[in-house]
Amino acid sequence: MTTQPASRPAYEIPTHLGAAAHAALDADRAARDQLGRAMLVATAAAVRDILTGYEPDAPFDASAVELVEGEDGSLFPNGRYWTLAGEERTFTETVGAAEAGNGIHGMSEWTAYLNDSTRDVWYDLCTEQPDRDGRPAYRLDLLPAAALQLDESAPAPVRQRGQMVEVLVCANDSDRYPAMVDPDDQRDGYVKPWFDLDTVRRIAEQTQADAARYGHDSVDTVHVLEGGDCAVRHDGSTEPLKYAVVLVVCWMYLDGEKREQAVQVLQPNKDGRYAVGGHDWQWYALGGQLNPQIPFRP
């Protein structure tokens, strides 16, 4: 059989194939990145909802959640999470078995999209954990996950000079607290955090425990004195009033020339926050993976 040479092309390829293929790949990559960001934010929201009973403005304490990789490569929650202080807990311990089970089931609908196709997005926000039943496990940092920009095309908000931002801060490599800081108010890279009263109570408890363990000469202690009263309205009814006084005691000053500076009464700012320790305690901001940011650049 004689093979006849082709007299014309069997088919034609569009001249713009290369550009079209690259555009399609770029669009696919952008879509997967957008999906990963959205599912990470949804996961952070699901943890909040479990711990607050779906009250978005209610206080809650969570900094990370554990996700386990399934056989298909997607992640799913196993009910473990960590508080801002680094304490490991389970949703069942905190909210009960029924609420935890329903919440974990709902969260799984979002984490199922955290898989190989979106790994480039979620992996950098995770720390590898010991395997769980032979499956890879990861600790997802919820603070940067919740702060991800959902619309990449939207311009990032411009921070005004002196504007506060919310971060986790630490002064001893172990105890971490949420605070508002002014990135422009730093000393040698250390920030001046402003804490709400609930966080001040936590700091007070921890500093007093440290002083009892290591001695008052080496630890400044924080104390929250609270009281109440009743105000009489014009109609004769009463309104309960609550007061709080925050003290910082530097015990090493009591026997020296600085004894008059040994006790400091902290004044709250207009938002009711207290600058415990100021710059002197060398608070530093924590970034992704809870790494120190010295200096802090939001």
Distance CA 277, CA 248 (A): 8
Task: For residues 170 and 139, state if they share a domain.
Answer: no
**Average pLDDT rounded to a whole number, residues 150-159:** 60
CA angle 169, 197, 216 (to 5 degrees): 70
Domain containing 226 equals 165-293
Asked if residue 155 is part of any domain, the answer here is no
pLDDT tens digits for range 18-62: 888 888 888 888 888 899 999 999 999 999 999 999 998 888 999
Task: For residues 273 and 200, state if they share a domain.
Answer: yes
pLDDT at 98 over 60: yes
**Average pLDDT rounded to a whole number, residues 171-197:** 91
Q: Which of 83-92, 100-109, 162-171, 286-295 has the highest mean pLDDT?
A: 100-109
Asked if residue 195 is part of any domain, the answer here is yes
**Average pLDDT rounded to a whole number, residues 52-79:** 92
Task: For residues 52 and 126, state if they share a domain.
Answer: yes
Those residues whose C-beta lies under 8 Å from the C-beta of residue 262, and which sit 6 or more positions away, are 249, 250, 251, 253, 254
- What is the count of structural domains for the chain? 2
pLDDT at 112 over 90: yes
Distance CA 144, CA 167 (A): 10
Q: How confident is the model at residue 277, as a pLDDT?
A: 92
Asked if residue 125 is part of any domain, the answer here is yes
Task: For residues 51 and 91, state if they share a domain.
Answer: yes
Task: For residues 96 and 209, state if they share a domain.
Answer: no
Q: How confident is the model at residue 156, as a pLDDT?
A: 53
Task: For residues 46 and 125, state if they share a domain.
Answer: yes
Asked if residue 255 is part of any domain, the answer here is yes
Task: For residues 87 and 201, state if they share a domain.
Answer: no
Of 146, 176, 202, which one is at a domain's C-terminal end?
146
Task: For residues 34 and 138, state if they share a domain.
Answer: yes
Token look-up 């999470």 returns 81
Would you list the DSSP string of 239-269?
Answer: EEEEEEEEEEE-GGGTTSTTGGGSEEEEPP-
Task: Assign 273 a pLDDT band (cuts: 50, 70, 90).
Answer: very high
Q: How confident is the model at residue 41, as a pLDDT?
A: 94
Percent with pLDDT over 70 in the chain: 93
Q: How confident is the model at residue 158, as a pLDDT?
A: 59
Asked if residue 13 is part of any domain, the answer here is no
Q: How confident is the model at residue 57, as a pLDDT?
A: 86
Q: How confident is the model at residue 160, as a pLDDT?
A: 63
Task: For residues 83 and 196, state if they share a domain.
Answer: no
As given in the structure block, the two tokens for residue 197 are 């009263």
Task: For residues 93 and 184, state if they share a domain.
Answer: no
pLDDT at 2 over 80: no
- Residue predicted with more confidence, 6 or 20: 20
Asked if residue 20 is part of any domain, the answer here is no
Q: Across the strands, what pairs with 135?
A: 132
**Average pLDDT rounded to a whole number, residues 182-194:** 93
pTM: 0.58
Task: Assign 260 a pLDDT band (cuts: 50, 70, 90).
Answer: confident
Task: For residues 103 and 169, state if they share a domain.
Answer: no
Task: For residues 132 and 75, state if they share a domain.
Answer: yes
Asked if residue 133 is part of any domain, the answer here is yes
Contact status, residue 286 vs residue 142, Cβ threshold 8 Å: no
Asked if residue 153 is part of any domain, the answer here is no
